[in-house]
Amino acid sequence: MAVYTHVPAEEIDAFLTRYDAGRLVSAKGIAEGVENSNYLLETTGADGNGHRYILTLYEKRVDEADLPFFMDLLDHLGARGCLVPRFIADTDGKRLQQLGGRPACLIEFLTGISVTEPTPAQARACGVALGELHRAAQGFAGERRNALDKDGWHALAARCGDDFDQIAPGLGARVAEELAFLDAHWPADLPRSVIHADLFPDNVLMLGDEVTGLIDFYFSCTDIRAYDLAVTHSAWCFSNDGATWYGDRATAIGQGYAAAHGLTDAERAAFPILCRGAALRFLLTRAYDWINTPADALVTRKDPLAYLRRMDFYAKADPAELLGA
Ligand SMILES: Nc1ncnc2c1ncn2[C@@H]1O[C@H](COP(=O)(O)OP(=O)(O)OP(=O)(O)O)[C@@H](O)[C@H]1O
Ligand SMILES: N[C@@H](CCO)C(=O)O
């Protein structure tokens, strides 16, 4: 579950009076997600026809100072045709509020469901949507450093220290070995851009084979553009536990992205390394959360070893297979 901050319905109703959004009809905590508290709100709507909103209260990893970057980015992408949720301004034009002692925003609700077992057609649609996002991001003036870049991975690994081996014997040594490999091989000169950086299936809303929304931009930042494709690849092309690789999804994502945006030869050549970095990034955040979240906490911890298996796969994979032809 992810409702860390509980807000009484009366307080949400009072909060809504700042907006042109109607009165609260229902407020339901959303179980999915691990980072922030999210509520699905139903209101009477400004026109009395009923309306849905997402109410997000920002918790541990989102820095309030970054919210204007995310807001401006979603405005920029939305204005260029990307299906992304806008932050809604109150009647004074204010988008960032405080609620339940947390920074809070009212956000546009997008329809669609996130798939758990993507078909190749859905994977292709995701690749196209990511390519279109990167096209639309061109010209966006905002910049945000990726706190989870290679330096960030080193810092996180140091914080996990000896505790890695509580998760699996030898994990600490394997992480150290991979960090050393990436230090020696991480590409320096690939094109950079604003990237989503967390485009997992649960952050892509779909109806059938159509993408209806891209959500959860709270890791978006400026980094190597093709690294975003590597993050998406690592999330979409394996079974959840990382034990099974689905080459048909990978080919579909690669073809969709290449059709919508294009990939340079240098990006293709560096792709296996970028995938190893992506796998290590999620291994590390999951390992850190695993070590620092009590086993009986209400939030479900995500398995770090599912990303160790991906990392091991990428380390041995035939580079030609990763993106198909
Ligand atoms: N704009 C939106 N429109 C519709 N549903 C949304 C929207 N934003 C969030 N949701 C729903 O809320 C859930 C959690 O949202 P989100 O992924 O942003 O949370 P999070 O805590 O940041 O999660 P994560 O663990 O993926 O980082 C989503 O899976 C989706 O079901
Ligand atoms: N998508 C991340 C969690 C949110 O960043 C993961 O599955 O580890």
Contacting residues for 55 by C-beta, under 8 A, at least 6 apart: 12, 15, 27, 38, 39, 40, 41, 99, 104, 105, 106, 107
pLDDT of residue 2: 74
Domains of the chain: 9-108 (3.30.200.20), 120-322 (3.90.1200.10)
Q: Which of 285, 293, 301, 309 to mutate to test the pocket of ligand 2 (most atoms within 8 A of CB)?
A: 285
C-alpha 125: how far from its chain's center? 17
- State in Å: Cα 202 to ligand 1 middle: 8
Helix (H) or strand (E) holding 46: none
- Asked if residues 24 and 9 have their Cβ atoms less than 8 Å apart, the reply is yes
Range scoring the smallest mean pLDDT among 106-115, 165-174, 299-308: 299-308
Residue 314: phi and psi, rounded to 5, are: -65, -35
Ligand 2 pocket, CB under 6 A: 34-35, 198, 200, 282, 285-286, 302
Tens digit of pLDDT for each residue in 15-29?
A: 999 999 999 999 999
Q: Has residue 150 got a pLDDT over 80?
A: yes
The residue written with tokens 């084979």 in the block is 209
Question: What separation in Å is there between the alpha carbon of 203 and the centre of ligand 2?
Answer: 10
Neighbours of 98 (CB within 10 A): 11
Ligand 2 centroid, distance to 200 Cα (angstroms): 7
Choose the weakest-confidence range: 4-8, 81-85, 228-232.
4-8
Do the Cβ atoms of 256 and 134 come closer than 8 Å? no
Q: What is the dihedral of CA 264, 78, 104, 34, to 10 degrees?
A: -40
Confidence at 214, pLDDT banded by 50, 70, 90 = very high
Compute the C-alpha angle 217/223/226, nearest 5°: 95
Cα angle 176, 235, 256 (rounded to 5 degrees) comes to 125
Residue appearing with tokens 């992480």: 175
Give residue for tokens 């010209």: 139
Q: Name 92's Cβ contacts closer than 8 Å, sequence gap at least 6.
A: 18
Nearest CA to ligand 2 atom 5: 198
Q: Is the CB of residue 243 less than 8 Å from the CB of residue 309?
A: yes
Confidence of residue 325 (pLDDT cuts 50, 70, 90): low
DSSP annotation of 197 reads: S
CA-wise closest residue to 240 among 154, 60, 114: 114
Q: Which two tokens stand for residue 217?
A: 């931009």
Cα 47 vs. chain centroid, distance in angstroms?
Answer: 33
